[in-house]
Amino acid sequence: MRSLNPASSLTATAALALLTAFAPLTALSQVNDKEHVTKPEVNYQAAGSQLTNEPMYQSQNPKAPPMTQAEFELGRKTYFERCAGCHGVLRKGATGKPLTPDITMAKGTDYLKVFIAYGSPAGMPNWLTSGEMDEKTVDVMARYIQQDPPVPPEFGMAQIKETWKVVIPPSQRPTRKMNSYNTQNIFSTTLRDTGEVALIDGDTKKIINIVKTGYAVHISRTSASGRYLFVIGRDGKINMIDLWMPTPDNVAEIRIGLEARSVDTSKYKGKEGDFTDKLAIAGAYWPPQYVVMNGDTLEPLKIVSTRGMVVGTQEYHPEPRVASIVASHFKPEFLVNVKETGKTLMVDYTNLDALKVTEIGSAPFLHDGGWDSTKRYFMVAANQSNKISVIDAKLGKLAALVDVGKIPHPGRGANFVHPKFGPVWATGHLGDETIALVGTDPVKNGKHAFKKVADLKGPGGGALFIKSHPKSRHLYSDAPLNPDAAISQSVVVYDIDNLDKGYVTLPIAQWAGLPDDGGAKRVVQPEYNKAGDEVWFAVWSAKDKASAMVVVDDKTLKLKAVIKDPRLITPTGHFNVHNTQHDVY
């Protein structure tokens, strides 16, 4: 280890002594202090916030070490690029512990510099020795986190309406499909760093259109009818794309917050009425809120804050982020999963003027998930609690909390029929090499229902997505955040009928045939076509490097096609219209 600036900082020996002395007080460490945090977890948690460039009020703490305006701005920018994902916008704690002045000032600048520089096994990255920060930035950050946290602006109805734009009114849109595309087999592919999605024809493997969107689209969701595609960027911008147009394109847009991840549309049709395509909903990281909109224009109708008490401790949390939203098939409800408070909100949308919300507490930090094969039970990862929360959408209650591996990250997960345990739902993990299988059939396989029935061994941590299909007998898992390039550039496949044989590895990045230009070539998100006989993968490199899409024949596990185009810049998530519309995974 090398020392910090000797003129103003501690030697490495003194640093180790400080870390040992303060070991019981690791306020900067992650929630789970007992287990070593892996590199894939750090890569995932330290993602930048979209609030970096938002104007914020600076409140100097007179008791904190002095900072110039330039130093404060460097600290603020660095914090939102590196730290906010773990410690929260207001530094009150999220998946990482609080960094408020009452805690940080008690530590002192020297201690904080050592901790920032060298990290800890409990989760604090070694920002200096990894090369991510220089000594000047470490010193600035040690003083910055002793200042009062700057507060980003709120984003209420007036601000939201200023961003709302109807490009083509419903009255001017086609009354029937005006193109020859098999719209059910279109793929919406996120072009992360250009703020676009590529609409790709799944039949011909040709790009139909490149649509301008918000930055780093997180998900694409299809309306209940299959006509409209909704995408949401991390900057909170939603684009509504009409697949009936001669060339599918944007017909409405809005921004529902300053940072966001989730969007969906109403799917229920029953005795309470036909709500298919009637409403849309999106949730924000900041401000912590969800917004209900008109389903064909995105006109904002209702904003609801998610600030409140954490399940279990019942302590107030000022910024509980909306992590994922799905639409119930059993009731006119949206399921809104709130990360920090560990609550699933069952939002009855039949009367927005007298909104009814059923609050179901499970465990922090709720993230992403998917339906079981019956679409009754929503399986959502409480990732820092290492659990899967099972929400019964029919009865409106918590059906179970299932212990799984370290930091489950299922995406939507994968449903298939296990030869021994019957219907199961599967999740991979960021923090370990396992794939957990959870039984989902309480009728015919009651003794296995909502229990972890098996673990499959994968190649290593860093998995983000897992996928299967009702017409397939294969299970695919990626690991794009694994530090080993051989793992991050390939996927593993299991034969569902012979799971004990382990996996086979497909060298997807190698099959892409991209130039040896130094790009990371991480392989991410298996996604089936409508027929269930092809699996698509994104080969994701840097913005200035070549990327591609790779298509695999699911029957033979052989390369079927490679899609290369200079417009495919940083492709990440990709969503098949039919499978997204019908929750097939």
Given the residues 218, 329, 409, 578, select the one marked as catalytic.
409
Q: Are strands 249-255 and 237-242 parallel, antiparallel or unpaired?
A: antiparallel
Q: How far is Cα 483 from Cα 39, in angstroms, rounded to an integer? A: 7
Whether 459 contacts 503, CB under 8 Å: yes
User: 377-412: string of b/e by CB count within 10 Å (b at 16+)?
Assistant: bbbbbbbbbbbbbbbbbeebeebbebebbbbbbbbb
Amino acid at 181: Y
Active-site residue identified among 87, 218, 329, 474: 87
Catalytic residue among 1, 67, 157, 367: 367
Does the CA dihedral 245-247-248-249 come out positive or negative? negative
Which residue in this structure is represented by tokens 């509980």?
A: 320
Nearest Cα residue to 461 out of 491, 436, 494, 428: 428
Q: Is 173 helix (H, G, I), strand (E, B) or coil?
A: coil
CA distance 146 to 168: 50
**Is 86 one of the annotated active-site residues of the chain?**
yes
Ordered DSSP codes for 378-406: EEEEEGGGTEEEEEETTTTEEEEEEE-SS
**Contact by Cβ (8 Å): 489, 522:** yes
Secondary structure (3-state) at 329: coil
Cα–Cα dist 358/84, whole Å: 30
The answer to whether residue 549 is catalytic is no
Cβ atoms within 10 A of the Cβ of 65, count?
16
Report the half-sphere exposure of 206 (CA within 13 A, side-chain side).
4
Determine contact, residues 217/199, Cβ cutoff 8 Å: no
* Annotated catalytic residue 409: yes
- Is residue 367 among the annotated active site residues? yes
CA atoms within 13 A on the CB side of 273: 11
Q: Give residue 558's region: left, alpha or beta (phi > 0; psi -120 to 50).
A: beta
- d(CA 261, CA 240) in angstroms, rounded, equals 15
- From the candidates 67, 86, 293, 379, give the one annotated as an active-site residue: 86
Nearest to 81 by CA among 30, 125, 27, 29: 125
Q: How many CB atoms lie within 10 A of CB 36?
A: 11
**What share of residues in the chain are helix, strand, coil (percent, to 5)?**
20, 35, 45
Q: Are 455 and 436 in contact (CB under 8 A)?
A: yes
In DSSP notation, 285-324 reads EETTEEEEEETTT--EEEEEE--EEPTTT--EES---EEE
**HEC letters along 120-159:** CCCCCCCCCCCCCCCHHHHHHHHHHCCCCCCECCCCCHHH
Catalytic residues: 83, 86-87, 124, 367, 409
